[in-house]
Every structure is written in structure tokens, then in C-alpha cells.
A and B are shown apart, each in its own frame.
Chain A
Amino acid sequence: MKNEFFSSRFALVVSTLGIAVGTGNIWRFPRIVAQNDGGTFLIPWIVFLFLWSLPLLMAEFAIGKFTRLSPVLAIPKLAGKKFMWMGGFIAFVSTAIMFYYSVVTGWCVNYFFSAVSGNLLSVNDHFKYWATFSNSLLPVLFQIGVMVLGSIIIYRGLVKGIESTSKILVSSLIIIIVILLVRAVTLPNAIKGIEYFFTPNLDKIFDYKIWLSALTQNAWDTGAGWGLIMTYAIYLRKKDDIALNASLIGFGNNSISLIAGIIIFSTTFALSDANPMESLKYSGPANTGMTLIVLPHLFSKLSESFFVNSFFAAMFFLALSMAAFTSLMSMIELTSRSLIDLGLERNKSIIFTAVLGIVFGIPSALSTNFLINQDWVWGIGLILSGAFISFSVIKFGAEKFRVNLILPDSDFQIGKIYNVTIKYLIPVQALALLVWWLYSSVSWDNEWLNPFHSENVGTCLFQWGIIIFMLILLNKFLIRRSKI
């Protein structure tokens, strides 16, 4: 696949949009909006699209196209060999996310099949239904299934695998989302949900927690700073631009989030018996509350017809499965591409990645507590990944990076404001997020340094520390092996 390139701009856009659009848009975004005062959240969320997501997306596109290497080697090529451990950390974080993301993808696929068969909407207690499912072996089977399928697609190569699958899944996803949007906004009382979704509470507009949640959401759902876009950018043709494509992904991704928010808020306000805000804010076990427990219940009340209700429930979970699956594919590609760059043969690296993903995903499939811990540790680790990408650009020289890597072949000009954003604003944002997170974690957990708690500072520092320590130890060995 080393000499393959995207066959068209459309193929490139749908493939990279497939990375960005995932469970973060449909599952996480509406819940975070509800937990952060509805419309108040939307303002900083738009601001951080420009201050965090777009600069990092451009950096990832440019680094991948310039180096033609995965993050593990691309970062040292830009920043210097002694920083190879940073590239290793970026690759490791996305790989660790792949381990549990495959489980979450499996859940979505299971709920899709369950909706198609009619089982999902024929049960009354959806909490019990989730508990029975999550305590069975089904999550393991579905996790293995999606990992095997994802690996087969990556094995088929860029054009026959990634491109053709993304074209079908991302296009279908957009069509389904539009159908769901039309149905949701035409429900009685849907307007109340839309009103809440867009109403800002001006007294809370400067609440730092809302701004930090908006930054975290942008870091999560655009895929900026994960190293995934960087990996797909290896396959950009020489004439492919950076600025326009990166903007397309950022704006496209956040537009899909906005539509998903309107769908969920309209549906919840129209169909919820109890307080709709409580339903929207309900996190539940492993954050499944709104999506896997409340929504199936709401779908069962959509109309008098069981068939129609099952149809829309199936559409929703199909969209969610497709969004999750295309993101999972990019994680498999990143891990296997990193192994290729470190000297492993392509076929072996894909098989190794599949086996690794299945084996290390099993603990998350068997225990939601383990999954919560991994989601916490590596989800926050993404902020470090973003900071490392920004660091490598600074080390390379922000102006040199803009002029030599972004501007050539770009379809529109990026001014010197880019240098300020990547040199100062991204590091400041990363630092602010980490400090806030440290401060708030210390205040809610007396044993904040205990490494064996599922969601605290200690467990992050412990697991990041082990990985960074090992990567620094292996730095010289990896440089020799990769021959950069």
C-alpha cells in the first residue's frame, strides 16, 4: 500500500471524514451539550473549532503528506530523533483507544441487529436489557467481529478497502442522518428541544467549565491530534491541498454533530415522559445512559406502529455503527502502519494489529469498569498527543512549516495567524485543560494519586508514566530499527 494514493478528492474527503465522524458526534456531543447549559455550550464549541481543531487538522495533513510516515516516525523527522518517544506516545494512545473503541463499535452493531430483529423495542426495561447484554459474552463476540472485519478492509488496501468502504458508509450515514433529522423535527413538541438546544444562558457564558468542556469535545470529536488524519495523509497525491481539505473535515464534522444534537434534543423533548433534561444528561453505566438506555425507550413511543418504530431505531443504530466503524478502521490503519514503519512486513503487521486489538480489547468487553478506566486514561491522553504535534511543528519552525508544508498546492492561503495559533494558543489550551483537570480531580477525589482508581489523576499518571518511560528507554533502539 506504500505507493497507493487517494484516487480523487471525494475519496480523500469521505475517508478522512469517516475518521472524524464517530461516536463522539452522535453519542457524546448531545449529552455534553445538555450537561453544559444547551446553547451556552455552542458558542465556545464553535470558537475552539478555529482555535484547536482546524490548526491541528492542518498540521496533521501537512505532516503526513510531507513525511509519508506514521506518527511514530513523522514526529522525530520533524522535531528530531530524540523526540521519537512523542511519536510513539501518539501512536500508542490511538492504539489503546482502538482496544476499547472496538468494544463500543460492537455494542452499536449489536443494538442495530437487535433493532432490526424487533427484540430491542419489545423489551420494557432497557436498563435490564443493557445489563444482561453487557454481562454476557456477546460484547466479546461483536468486538472480535468488528476487529476482524476492520482488519480485512485495511488488508484490501487504500482504494479497494478504505476508500470504497468509506464511500458507502459515510454517504449512507449522511443520508440516514438527514432522514432522522426530518423525522425528529416533525415530531410534536420537537421545537421545545430545538429551543433549549440553541438557547444560551448569558449569565454562564464565561463559566470556565463550559469552555473547557467545549475544548475537550472539539479535541474528541474532530479527530484532531489523534495521529489518524496524519496516517491517512500519507496517501495524499502531490497535488492534494492541505488547508481546504482540513477545513472541510472540521466544518463537516461539526455540522454533523450539530444535526445529531438537533435530532436527539427534538426526539427527547417530544417523547420523554419525565423531565427531558434529566434523560439528556443521564450518563448511566459507561456513558451508555442516553444512547443505549433512554433512546430505545423513546423510539418505542415514536408512533403506534411497531414496524415504523423499529425502522427508525434500526436507522439510528446503523448510523452510529457506521460512524464508529469508519473511525475504528483508521485506528487499525494507524497501528499497522506504525508497525510497517518500524520494519514489519505489511501483511504480518495487519494480522498482528488484529490479534493485538482482539486480545487487549477483551478486558474492556468483559468489564465496563475497565473500559471506563481506559476511556478516561487515553481520552485525556489525547490532549498530550495534540500538544506533542504542536511541539513538533514549533521545533520544525512554525513559519517554515506554514510556508513549505501547508501553502504549496493549497487551494487557499493561510496567513501568519496560523503561526500564533500553533505556537501559543494550542500549547496554552492543552496546558489549561490539563491544569483544570488536575485541579478538579483533586477536589472530587481524596485519593487522587491512587493509581488503582478508575477515574482519577493517579491512574493517568501511572499508565502514561509507564508508557512514556518505556518509549524513552526504547528511543535509540527504535531509531536504529526504523533507519530514519
Chain B
Amino acid sequence: MKVETMVTAIVVSLILFGGLTFIVTLAIKKERNKNNGSTRND
């Protein structure tokens, strides 16, 4: 496999799947914080 093929595959996958994983993790964390916050307020 050519070097540029591997670089493109890694970079594109890292940006998309890595970005998605980061966003999903952040969303879960923020959601948990919001729910804990609202429970305390209740």
C-alpha cells in the first residue's frame, strides 16, 4: 500500500471518527453534568 494512501486513510478516519468519538464523549459528559445539576436543583 502506498504511503499517501495510508496517510489519507489515517488522517481522514482520525478527523471523522476521532472527531465523532470526542464529540459523543463530550455530549455524554455534559448531559450527565446537566442532569446532576437539575437533580440538585430539584
Q: Which residues of A contact B (CB under 8 A)?
A: 9, 13, 39, 42-43, 46, 194-195, 198-200, 202, 239, 241, 244-245, 247-248, 251-252, 254-255, 258, 411-412
Contacts of A247 in B (CB 8 A): 19, 23
**Nearest 7 pairs between A and B by C-beta?**
A198-B9, A251-B20, A199-B5, A411-B30, A255-B16, A39-B8, A251-B19
Q: Say whether B12 contacts A198, CB under 8 Å.
A: yes
Contacts of A46 in B (CB 8 A): 12, 15-16
Q: Say whether B20 contacts A252, CB under 8 Å.
A: yes
Among B9, B16, B23, B30, point to the contact of A254 (Cβ < 8 A).
B16
Contacts of A202 in B (CB 8 A): 4
Q: Say whether A199 contacts B4, CB under 8 Å.
A: yes
Contacts of A411 in B (CB 8 A): 26-27, 30
Contacts of B19 in A (CB 8 A): 247, 251
Contacts of B36 in A (CB 8 A): none
User: Is there a chain A Cβ closer than 8 Å to B40's Cβ?
Assistant: no
Known contacts being A255-B20, A258-B12, is A200 close to B4, with CB within 8 Å?
Answer: yes
What are some 14 contacts across the A-B interface (CB < 8 A)? A39-B5, A42-B8, A46-B16, A198-B5, A198-B9, A199-B2, A200-B8, A244-B23, A244-B30, A248-B24, A251-B16, A251-B23, A411-B27, A411-B30
Q: Is the interface of B mostly helix, strand, loop or mixed?
A: helix
Q: Which chain B residues (1-42) contact chain A, with CB distance < 8 Å? A: 1-2, 4-6, 8-9, 12-13, 15-17, 19-20, 23-24, 26-27, 30-31, 34
Q: B35 → chain A, closest Cβ, in Å?
A: 10
Among B4, B17, B27, B31, point to the contact of A255 (Cβ < 8 A).
B17
Nearest-neighbor residue (CB-CB) of A247 within chain B? B23
A245–B6 Cα gap in the complex (Å)? Answer: 31
Contacts of A254 in B (CB 8 A): 16
Nearest-neighbor residue (CB-CB) of A13 within chain B? B27
Q: Looking at A46, A202, A251, which has the most chain B CB atoms within 10 Å of its CB?
A: A251
Q: B31 → chain A, closest Cβ, in Å?
A: 5
A446–B5 Cα gap in the complex (Å)? Answer: 41
Contacts of B30 in A (CB 8 A): 241, 244, 411
Q: Looking at A194, A202, A411, which has the most chain B CB atoms within 10 Å of its CB?
A: A411
A239–B35 Cα gap in the complex (Å)? Answer: 11
A252–B20 Cα gap in the complex (Å)? Answer: 6
Contacts of B24 in A (CB 8 A): 248
A-B contacts besides A39-B8, A202-B4, A251-B19, 18 pairs, CB < 8 Å: A9-B31, A39-B5, A43-B8, A43-B12, A46-B12, A195-B2, A195-B5, A198-B5, A198-B9, A198-B12, A199-B2, A241-B30, A244-B27, A244-B30, A245-B27, A247-B23, A254-B16, A412-B26
Q: A60 → chain B, closest Cβ, in Å?
A: 17
Contacts of A251 in B (CB 8 A): 16, 19-20, 23
Among A195, A199, A258, A412, point to the contact of B16 (Cβ < 8 A).
A258
Among A39, A195, A239, A412, point to the contact of B34 (Cβ < 8 A).
A239
Among B8, B16, B31, B34, point to the contact of A198 (Cβ < 8 A).
B8
Nearest-neighbor residue (CB-CB) of B9 within chain A? A198
Contacts of A198 in B (CB 8 A): 5-6, 8-9, 12
Contacts of A43 in B (CB 8 A): 8, 12
A9–B23 Cα gap in the complex (Å)? Answer: 13
Nearest-neighbor residue (CB-CB) of B20 within chain A? A251
Nearest-neighbor residue (CB-CB) of A10 within chain B? B31
Contacts of B6 in A (CB 8 A): 198
Contacts of B9 in A (CB 8 A): 194, 198
Q: A110 → chain B, closest Cβ, in Å?
A: 32
Nearest-neighbor residue (CB-CB) of B12 within chain A? A42
Contacts of B31 in A (CB 8 A): 9
Contacts of A239 in B (CB 8 A): 34
Among A13, A195, A200, point to the contact of B1 (Cβ < 8 A).
A195
Q: A48 → chain B, closest Cβ, in Å?
A: 13
Q: B18 → chain A, closest Cβ, in Å?
A: 9
Q: Say whether B27 contacts A9, CB under 8 Å.
A: yes
Nearest-neighbor residue (CB-CB) of A241 within chain B? B30
A39–B4 Cα gap in the complex (Å)? Answer: 9
Known contacts being A9-B27, A42-B8, A244-B26, is A258 close to B13, with CB within 8 Å?
Answer: yes
Contacts of B12 in A (CB 8 A): 42-43, 46, 198, 258
Nearest-neighbor residue (CB-CB) of B28 within chain A? A9
A241–B34 Cα gap in the complex (Å)? Answer: 11
Nearest-neighbor residue (CB-CB) of B27 within chain A? A244
Known contacts being A254-B16, A411-B30, is A248 close to B8, with CB within 8 Å?
Answer: no
